[in-house]
Amino acid sequence: MKAGEIQKDWYIADAEGKTLGRFASKIAQILRGKHKPTFTPHMDMGDFVIVVNADKVHVSGDKEKAKKYFSHSGYPGGAKLIDLQTMRQRHPERVITKAVRGMLPHNRLGRGMMKHLKVYAGADHPHLAQQPQVLEV
């Protein structure tokens, strides 16, 4: 396919009560475009995905306190570890964003795909004009 022939649709997915990993995996497939019969690995074929209720995503087991998010400032001793419970309180959107980011290619193609992901903590979103289709995950 050529870049001008790619048709991009909009989907909305509700994260309430969904398991984080399985939900993120489905979102990553849509962003990548693997659900389309015209999938081409070296092109951005994916669609736009709006995720609502990101603060109500479910995790199993003891992951609320055991799962850690690592970041480093670049300075000596600048490592930070934040558990899932704290991340959910401070930035609930980043929980889904980081899960999906890890499932996409780690290059410029993946960075472009991440721009098609819109995550919101609550049920409201500003993308009603795009008339998104409901995504059953």
Per-residue pLDDT tens digits for 76-91 = 999 999 999 999 999 9
In the chain, what are the domain boundaries?
Answer: 7-58+92-134
Model pLDDT, residue 1: 82
Fold of 7-58+92-134: Ribosomal Protein L13p; Chain: A; (3.90.1180)
Q: How far is the first Cα of the chain from the last one, in angstroms, to the nearest whole number?
A: 27
Chain position carrying tokens 């991340």? 87
pLDDT for the residue numbered 22: 97
pLDDT confidence bin for 137, thresholds 50/70/90:
confident
pTM for the model: 0.94
Q: How far apart are CA 137 and CA 50, in angstroms?
A: 13
Backbone dihedral region for residue 96 (phi beyond 0: left; psi -120 to 50: alpha; all else: beta): alpha
**Does residue 74 have a pLDDT over 90?**
yes
User: Are the C-beta atoms of residues 122 and 55 closer than 8 Å to each other?
Assistant: yes
Nearest CA among 39, 46, 43 for reference residue 100:
46
